[in-house]
Amino acid sequence: MSIILPFLSVIFGFLIASFLKKETHFTQHLLSFSGALLLAILVFEFLPHVYHDYEQIIGILIMSGVLLQVLLEFMSKGAEHGHSHIDKNLKKFPFLLFVGLCIHSFMEGFPIANNPHLMIGVVLHKLPVAIVISTFLLSSNLSKSKIYTFILLFAVMTPLGSILNQYVVSSPQTEVYINAVVVGILLHVSTTILFESSKDHQFNWSKIISILLGIGLAYFM
């Protein structure tokens, strides 16, 4: 499930974007909901897990994850939280955007193999992000082959991270250390989604309800 669901989430997001042709309020509400869900899962379950046998290096690794995400967003222009700004006249393959987005997706796939609740959070997070990215790509001047290549490779990155954890990493301590970095990455992304998924950073009742639903679902999972 940790392999197929993240892949299908991206493909489904692309199909939705192909049908709608533009972003909708539903996409933004789904983005807020998924950001709140992801953040709450991190706080309720994942942070206590990585801090279970506390070592000072855990905090350093979490902050390293935050800084890594800052670097990745410099490359991806914020695609991880649904705010990618791609030039509609783009004709060349957006290499930096692709690399930044794929590194993020690969890293977030690592812990979901052994954390089903986090997997749900990541899958729901990827859906609106895939819609936003696909909408921008489809409105650009990129060829269909380049767009399909981008989406397909983006879709397989998270499953690859999950496969790495299941079949390559054998040390539980190494897994915890990598998970701590991923916590930092997801903390940055989820909090950015909550504060930047609305125009002019303004909250409204529909966004607040979406956030509360995300937190509530995470609590009762």
Model pLDDT for residues 71-99, shown as the tens digit of each residue: 988 887 777 666 655 555 666 777 888 89
φ/ψ (deg, to 5) at 48: -60, -35
- Domain layout of the chain by residue ranges: 4-17+26-220
Task: Give the chain's end-to-end CA distance (angstroms, integer).
Answer: 17
Distance CA 80, CA 104 (A): 8
Helix intervals (H) in the chain = 4-20, 25-41, 47-50, 56-76, 95-109, 116-139, 144-167, 172-196, 205-220
Model pLDDT for residues 169-189, shown as the tens digit of each residue: 768 888 899 999 999 999 999
CA nearest to 50, candidates 102, 126, 105, 110: 110
Quick one: pLDDT at residue 188?
92
Neighbours of 5 (CB within 10 A): 18
Quick one: pLDDT at residue 33?
92
Tell the burial category of 210 from Cβ atoms under 10 Å away from its Cβ (0-12, 13-18, 19+).
buried
Let me know: does 165 contact 181? Beta carbons within 8 Å.
no
Quick one: pLDDT at residue 143?
85
Quick one: pLDDT at residue 64?
95
CA nearest to 139, candidates 10, 2, 18: 18
Distance CA 103, CA 119 (A): 17
Quick one: pLDDT at residue 81?
67
pLDDT in tens, the chain (221 residues): 778 999 999 999 999 998 887 767 788 888 889 999 999 999 998 998 888 877 889 999 999 999 999 998 888 777 766 665 555 566 677 788 889 899 999 999 999 988 899 999 999 999 989 998 898 888 888 888 888 999 999 999 999 999 988 887 768 888 899 999 999 999 999 988 887 655 555 567 788 888 899 999 998 88
Quick one: pLDDT at residue 113?
84
